[in-house]
Amino acid sequence: MRSFELICPAGNPAALRAAVDAGADAVYLGFRDETNARNFPGLNFSREDLAEGIAYAHARRVEVYVAINTYPQAGNLAPWHRAVDDAARLKADAVILADLGLLDYASRTHPGLRLHLSVQASAANAEAIRLYRDAFGVRRVVLPRVLTLPEIAQLNSEVEVETEVFVFGGLCPMAEGRCSLSSYATGLSPNRQGVCSPASHVRYEPRGKALASRLGDFTINVFGEGEQAGYPTLCKGRFVSGDSTAYLFEEPTSLNAMDLLPELKAAKVHALKIEGRQRGKAYIAHVVASYRKALDAFDKGMAVPKIDLEAVVEGGAQTTGAYKRAWR
Amino acid sequence: MTSNQPARLSLGPVLFNWPVDRWRDFYFRIADEAAVDVVVVGEIVCNKRAPFIAPALDEVIGRLSAAGKEVWLASPILVASNRERTAMHDLVDCTDFAIEANDMGALMLLEGRRHAVGPFINTYNEATLGWLARRGAVTVSLPAELPAESVEVLAKAGGETGLAVEVQVFGRAPLAISARCYHARAHGLHKDGCQFVCGNDPNGMPVRTMDGQPFLAVNGTQTMSHSYLCLAAELDRLQAMGVRQFRLSPHDLDMIRIIRTFRDVLEGKRDGRGTVKDLEAIIEGPVSNGFFHNAAGAVYVDAAD
């Protein structure tokens, strides 16, 4: 009996196979359009890709979850309805949804379809989770990355649905699904178009020996000579307030909760999620295999091996994020 | 149908950490002098600040009600800790007042009861609006980032279900909420020992880019726009779409004059486009309306037809 389900990202069919082969219990993915929150050029799945991916995964007893987790556009619900219908038709094991209207549609139209609540719905308390369970029969909730371990434990003692938490990858310091920072700077929205700090609006400007990174009309960072220039994700930028220039919201860093497996188990978390649908198959294979190794050791009651993931984390820096109260 | 009803102005909750005396005096002036129909009251950003306004809350509600304003109590945006949950239960269970829900937890507790849905619950489409209406919502305040095309569909759907759709037309746009306090972090403090440094910035703490360009404003755990969202020039178009309620977000500015300006535009006494420069002078800063025009939220699009 495994302590946790390991939920892994797949941005394309090759990444799906890499995740399955490296030991995922389930992979999550999205269609190639604005219906999912990782709507990046060259990523995601056609209907045919999904059918093949599901066949590959199911043959190896791995589940496939389809994220349809943006907020449908007023007056144009059809693409989102079609995404839910196709996921159901192709026998996805669950759909991951955020929008109330879409949850209502899915629960009425496909009563047998397993519904997970996306992190984009930002359900951070037991009352909110009860609403999603009672109204739509949601079976699992992906918790926003704003909760401490004691808060997660308390929540799991009160709700009857499974909870899934992020353990590795990019870290949103804001409550997900409630952030319009990217939309303010670029006009493209995580909630509406499924993109945050989109590459189409990124520019790098040499300034003498320095390099500025810009998003839309705004400078997000300026890197000195010899400093490694990172991607200008808005909330990981350097800004000026008062007299100080600093990473005001969050340093360029990745979440890594591998050291917290005992605490996550004690908190009765059901599933652990790795972030990174925009990542290549080598990254996916490495991170998933590392977590598989750690979880297998944990399941056998052995000490979790020290696994160095530093080479694949953003800016070479790792954090346990909101799980520890001091992060706040 | 709501199409023949007169337009209403509403005042959202004060989002900043103002001293209680200033907070109370502000609402007394609103009660006595401001041409708003609806006033939404409550601390919705940070639970740690709620005790500050608590002693004046009853007095403020009484004064506003006596002045004929419709008063709603708003629930917090982000509810995670036990303390925040207790506060949410107290608000919903222990008051007879009408509540504006800003989190799904509060919405769950309000089932079957007449309530409003605030702008921090994601209402992006008519299916969600219909679901909220069936659960007892009478007013839905739309998220600031919605473009005109969406607002139009939602206003029409609201009209068909008898639900009032509200749009923010003035004030810094709320852009994000976190469990982390950025005001404390900027001062080298943690949220637990924040010393309430957010009180230093009655309109939010300015955040500039490394090039010195004004960009954002931090309000404790909340991040807002530097520019002030302003849809004065779009009021006619919004009314033509069927929007009947317009929200202004309070700032440490001459709000009485700002409210008067919007009222005059609604009543046809002033031209909306002509007021934008006047509003910029009061704000002493830029305005933006990009979200409504399907552009970057930070920009101002001249709404010439």
Beta strands B70-74 and B38-41, pairing class? parallel
Residue keyed to tokens 């004060």: B14
Residue of A nearest to B176 (CA): A179
- pLDDT of amino acid B1: 38
| Closest CB to A124 among B80, B129, B212 | B80
Show Cβ contacts of residue B303 under 8 Å, excluding neighbours closer than 6 positions. Answer: B233, B234, B237, B273, B289, B293
- How high does pLDDT run on average in chain B? 95
Query: How near does any CA of chain A get to the CA of B138, in Å?
Result: 17
What number is the ipTM of this complex?
A: 0.96
CA atoms within 13 A on the CB side of A33: 14
Give the per-residue pLDDT at B4.
59
Residue appearing with tokens 């995601």: A44
- Is A217 in Cβ contact with B143 (below 8 Å)? no
Which residues of chain B have a CB within 8 Å of the CB of A74? 124-126, 146, 149-154, 157
Q: How close B31 gets to chain A, by Cα (Å)?
A: 32
* 3-class DSSP assignment, residue A64: strand
Whole-model pTM: value is 0.97
- Tens digits of residue pLDDT in B99-115: 999 999 999 999 989 99
**Across the interface, which of A75, A219, A238 has its CB nearest the CB of B149?**
A75
- CB < 8 Å to A71, chain B: 122, 124-125, 128
- Structural domains of chain A ordered from first start: 5-171+253-319 (3.20.20.70), 195-247 (no CATH)
Tell if the CB–CB gap between B153 and A74 is shorter than 8 Å: yes
Contact predicate A183/B144, CB 8 Å:
no
**B117 touches A at CB < 8 Å:** no
Distance of residue A177 Cα from the nearest chain B Cα, in angstroms: 8
Nearest CA in chain A to B108: A131
Phi, psi (5° rounding) for residue A239? -135, 170
Q: How many CB atoms lie within 10 A of CB B294?
A: 14
**Res B72 pLDDT > 50:** yes
Number of residues that this document lists for chain B: 305
Q: Angle CA(B231)–CA(B237)–CA(B238) in degrees, nearest 5?
A: 65
Burial class for B267, CB neighbours closer than 10 Å (0-12, 13-18, 19+)? exposed
Sign of CA dihedral A226, A230, A232, A235: negative
B185 interface with A at CB cutoff 8 Å: yes
Amino acid of residue A276: G
Alpha-carbon distance A199 to A230, whole Å?
13
- Cα dist. A82→A14, A31, A50, A71, B168 in Å? 24, 11, 14, 14, 32
- B215:A154 CB<8 A: no
B122·A177 Cβ contact <8 A: yes
Q: Are residues B209 and A245, on separate chains, in Cβ contact within 8 Å?
A: no
Say if residues B297 and A217 touch (Cβ distance below 8 Å): no
With beta carbons less than 8 A apart as the criterion, state whether A292 and A6 touch. Answer: yes
- The closest CB to that of A131, out of B108, B124, B179, belongs to B108
Q: Write out chain A residues lying below 8 Å of B161, CB-based.
A: none
Per DSSP, what are the bridge partners of residue A274?
Answer: A168
Instruction: Identify all chain A residues contacting B108, using CB atoms and an 8 Å cutoff.
Output: 127-128, 130-131, 134
**From the CA of A156, how many Å to the nearest CA of chain B?**
13
Q: Is the pLDDT of residue B305 over 60?
A: no
Distance of CA B71 to the CA centre of its chain: 14
Rounded Cα gap, residues B204 and A133, in angstroms: 37
> Which of B107, B144, B211 minimises the CB distance to A131?
B107
The residue of A178, A223, A235, A250 whose CB has the most chain B CBs within 10 angstroms, and thus the best one to mutate to test that interface, is A178
Contact A241 B205 (CB under 8 A): yes
B46/B179 Cα distance (integer angstroms): 9
Instruction: Give, as one character, the DSSP assignment of residue B169.
Output: E
The pLDDT of residue B31: 98
Count CA within 13 A, CB hemisphere, residue A244.
9
Each residue of B122-180: pLDDT tens digit?
Answer: 999 999 999 999 999 999 999 999 999 999 999 999 999 999 999 999 999 999 999 99
Spell out which residues of chain A touch residue B129, defining contact as CB-CB under 8 Å: 101
User: Cβ–Cβ of B210/A238 closer than 8 Å?
Assistant: yes
Region of A42 (left: φ > 0; alpha: ψ -120 to 50; beta: rest) is left
Q: Which positions in chain A touch B144 (Cβ < 8 Å)?
A: 180
pLDDT averaged per 10 residues, chain A (length 328): 95 98 98 93 95 98 98 98 98 98 98 98 97 98 94 96 96 95 97 95 96 97 92 96 95 93 97 95 96 96 86 81 89
pLDDT at B5 over 80: no
The answer to whether A248 contacts B297, with C-beta atoms less than 8 Å apart, is no
Residues A174, B223: C-beta atoms closer than 8 Å: yes
Is the CB of B132 less than 8 angstroms away from the CB of A100? yes
Whether the Cβ atoms of residue B31 and residue B268 lie closer than 8 Å to each other: no
Domains of chain B with CATH codes: 8-172+228-288 (3.20.20.70)
CB contact under 8 A, A181 and B176: yes
3-state class (DSSP) for residue A239: strand
8 Å CB contact of A240 and B153: no
Whether B83 and chain A come into contact, CB under 8 Å, resolves to no
What is the rounded average pLDDT of the residues B231-254? 97
Residue ranges of the annotated binding site of A for [4Fe-4S] cluster are 172, 179, 196, 235
Check pLDDT > 80 for residue B188: yes
> pLDDT value at position B2?
42
Put simply, the answer to whether A101 touches B127 (Cβ < 8 Å) is yes
Distance CA A33, CA A256 (A): 29
